[in-house]
C-alpha cells in the first residue's frame, strides 16, 4: 500500500491554521507575528516534519510572487512624492551609505578571510540587499507611524534597486576573474541592471496610470477590490515574465495611485488589508519551509564573518547616512535595526549564482556552494531576529500605535457615498502617513 499523500489544498489549509496559531503563540511573548509564521514553516518544512517538502515549495512559488506584488503595491501607496521630496536628500544619503558601505565592508572582510576576490564581491553584493516583506508586516501589525516609519519604508523600497546594480557589477567582475578574462564587458555590466530597474519603473507607470484613471471611475462600485487585486497581479506577472524587478514594478504602481489626481491610496490599503493576510501567511511559511536547519552547523567562520560584517555595515551605514542627510536623531539611531532582514532577493540571487557559476569548473562549483550555504543559514537567523529588531526600533522611537489613534480616526475625511471599502480603509489609511 502506498503511503498516504494529502492533497495540496489540505496542506495549504493546515499551513494557514498552524501559522495562525503559531503567530498567536509568539505574540503572547511580545514577538512579531511574522516570526511565528517563519518558525511554523521551518517546523513543517523538510528540516523537521516534511509536510511541506521542497518540491511543494517550488510548486507554490506563485504565492510568493502574489505576496511580493501586494507588498510592493502597499509600500508604494504609502509613499507620497511630497514626503519623498522633503526627505529626498536624507533617503538618498542613507541608501547609498548603508548599501554601498555594506558592500565594501563585507567584500573587504570576506576577501581578507578567503583571499578570493570573486567570492568576496558576490557576498558583498548580496549583503547589500534588504527584504522588505517582514519589515512591512511588522509596521502594519503594530500600526507604526512617524518619521522613522516613513524613512524606513522608502529605504527598504529603494534598497533592492541599489543591490541589483551592485550585484550586476559583482557578477560580471567575478565571472571575468574566474574565466581569466583580461577585460570586463562594461556595457553588459551597466545595461542589465538598468534594464531591470528602468523597465520595472516604466512598467509600473504604464500599468499604473490607466489603472488610476479607471479606479477614479470604479471606486464607488461593488467589488472594486477584485479589479485592484487583478491589476496588481497582472503587473507582477508581467514583471516576472519580462525579467524585471517585481517589487519595483508594483511599488511604482502604488506610487502612481497615491500621487496622481484623485488619491486612491485608501482603497489600496483596504485591498491589502483584506486580501494580503492570507498571501503573507503563506509567503512567510514558505520562506521558513525553504530554510534548512542543517546548514547552520556548516556556517563556519565565513558565515559568522558575513553575518557580523553585514550587521555592522547596515547599522553603521544607516547612522552615517542619516547624519550626512541631517535626519532626525530618532531616524539616525534606530533605522539600522529595520534593515537587517534578508530573504527573497538575496536567496534568489544566491541560487542563480550556484547555477550560473557551475560552468566555471571546480572553482565555480565551490563558490556557488559557499554562497548558497552561507546565505541560506544567515537568512534563517536574520529572518527571525530582524522583525524583533524592527519592533524594538519603532518602540524606542515611540511610533507604535500612532497610526490607529482616536484623533487620527476622528479627523479622517468622511467616506464618499457611504462606500464600505472606504469605511474599512479609514481604519488603516493613516497608518504610515508622516
User: For residue 331, is it within any domain?
Assistant: yes
The count of structural domains within the chain is: 1
State residue 210's pLDDT score: 93
What's the whole-model pTM score?
A: 0.70
195: left (phi over 0), alpha (psi -120 to 50) or beta: alpha
- Percent of the chain beyond pLDDT 70? 79
User: For residue 26, is it within any domain?
Assistant: no
Asked whether residue 382 carries a pLDDT value surpassing 80, the answer given is yes
pLDDT digits (tens, 9 = 90+) for 106-137: 999 999 998 888 889 989 988 988 877 788 88
- CATH number (domain holding residue 190): 1.20.1530.20
User: For residue 423, is it within any domain?
Assistant: no
User: For residue 395, is it within any domain?
Assistant: no
Banded model confidence at residue 270, pLDDT cuts 50, 70, 90: low
User: For residue 96, is it within any domain?
Assistant: yes
Residue 229: give the domain boundaries. 60-279+299-372
User: For residue 349, is it within any domain?
Assistant: yes
User: For residue 15, is it within any domain?
Assistant: no
Asked whether residue 25 carries a pLDDT value surpassing 50, the answer given is yes
CB-hemisphere CA count at 13 Å for 431? 26
State residue 347's pLDDT score: 67
Integer CA distances (angstroms), 16 to 60, 220, 278, 387, in order? 14, 32, 8, 20
Asked whether residue 79 carries a pLDDT value surpassing 50, the answer given is yes
Asked whether residue 145 carries a pLDDT value surpassing 80, the answer given is yes
Is residue 235 within 8 Å of residue 209, measured between CB atoms?
A: no
Integer CA distances (angstroms), 138 to 78, 400, 431, in order? 15, 10, 12
User: For residue 241, is it within any domain?
Assistant: yes
Residues 6 or more apart whose CB falls under 8 angstroms from that of 123 comprise 106, 107, 110, 306, 371, 374
Integer CA distances (angstroms), 46 to 16, 197, 356, in order? 17, 34, 25
Is residue 47 within 8 Å of residue 293, measured between CB atoms?
A: yes
pLDDT digits (tens, 9 = 90+) for 356-365: 676 677 777 7
Integer CA distances (angstroms), 368 to 38, 72, 362, 364, 372, in order? 25, 29, 10, 6, 6
Mean pLDDT of the chain: 79
pLDDT digits (tens, 9 = 90+) for 335-369: 999 999 886 567 666 766 766 676 677 777 778 77
Which of 282, 284, 287 minimizes the C-alpha distance to 348? Answer: 287
Asked whether residue 216 carries a pLDDT value surpassing 80, the answer given is yes
Cell output for 292: 534548512
Which of 272, 248, 26, 270 minimizes the C-alpha distance to 137? Answer: 272
Amino acid at each position: 500500500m502506498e503511503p498516504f499523500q494529502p492533497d495540496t489544498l489540505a496542506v495549504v489549509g493546515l499551513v494557514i491554521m498552524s501559522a495562525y496559531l503559531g503567530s498567536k503563540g509568539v505574540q503572547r511573548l511580545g514577538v512579531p507575528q511574522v516570526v511565528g509564521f517563519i518558525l511554523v514553516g521551518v517546523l513543517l518544512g523538510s528540516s523537521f516534519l516534511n509536510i511541506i517538502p521542497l518540491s511543494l515549495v517550488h510548486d507554490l512559488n506563485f504565492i510568493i510572487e502574489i505576496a511580493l506584488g501586494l507588498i510592493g503595491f502597499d509600500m508604494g501607496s504609502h509613499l507620497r512624492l511630497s514626503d519623498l521630496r522633503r526627505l529626498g536628500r536624507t533617503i538618498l544619503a542613507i541608501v547609498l551609505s548603508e548599501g554601498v558601505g555594506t558592500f565594501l565592508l563585507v567584500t573587504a572582510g570576506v576577501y581578507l578571510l578567503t583571499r578570493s576576490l570573486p567570492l568576496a564581491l558576490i557576498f558583498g553584493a548580496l549583503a547589500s540587499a534588504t527584504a522588505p516583506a517582514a519589515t512591512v508586516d511588522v509596521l502594519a501589525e503594530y500600526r507604526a507611524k512617524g518619521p522613522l516609519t516613513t524613512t524606513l519604508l522608502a529605504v527598504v523600497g529603494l534598497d533592492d534597486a541599489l543591490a541589483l546594480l551592485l550585484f550586476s557589477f559583482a557578477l560580471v567582475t567575478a565571472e571575468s576573474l574566474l574565466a581569466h578574462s583580461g577585460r570586463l564587458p562594461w556595457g553588459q555590466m551597466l545595461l542589465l541592471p538598468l534594464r531591470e530597474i528602468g523597465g520595472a519603473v516604466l512598467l509600473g507607470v504604464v500599468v499604473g496610470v490607466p489603472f488610476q484613471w479607471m479606479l477614479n471611475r470604479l471606486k464607488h462600485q461593488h467589488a472594486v477590490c477584485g479589479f485592484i487585486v487583478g491589476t496588481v497581479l497582472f503587473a507582477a506577472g508581467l514583471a516576472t515574465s519580462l525579467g524585471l524587478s517585481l517589487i519595483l514594478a508594483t511599488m511604482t504602481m502604488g506610487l502612481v495611485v497615491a500621487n496622481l489626481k484623485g488619491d486612491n491610496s485608501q482603497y489600496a490599503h483596504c485591498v491589502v488589508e483584506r486580501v494580503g493576510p492570507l498571501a503573507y501567511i503563506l509567503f512567510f511559511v514558505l520562506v521558513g519551509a525553504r530554510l534548512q536547519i542543517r546548514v547552520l552547523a556548516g556556517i563556519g567562520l565565513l558565515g559568522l564573518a558575513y553575518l557580523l560584517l553585514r550587521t555592522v555595515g547596515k547599522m553603521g551605514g544607516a547612522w552615517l547616512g542619516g547624519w550626512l542627510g541631517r535626519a532626525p536623531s530618532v531616524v539616525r539611531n534606530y533605522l539600522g535595526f529595520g534593515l537587517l532582514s534578508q530573504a527573497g532577493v538575496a536567496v534568489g540571487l544566491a541560487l542563480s549564482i550556484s547555477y550560473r557559476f557551475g560552468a566555471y569548473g571546480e572553482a565555480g562549483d565551490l563558490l556557488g556552494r559557499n554562497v548558497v550555504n552561507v546565505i541560506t543559514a544567515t537568512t534563517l537567523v536574520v529572518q527571525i531576529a530582524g522583525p524583533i529588531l524592527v519592533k524594538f526600533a519603532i518602540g524606542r522611537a515611540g511610533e507604535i500605535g500612532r497610526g490607529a489613534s482616536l484623533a487620527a480616526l476622528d479627523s479622517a475625511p468622511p467616506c464618499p457615498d457611504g462606500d464600505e471599502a472606504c469605511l474599512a480603509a479609514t481604519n488603516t489609511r493613516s497608518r504610515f502617513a508622516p
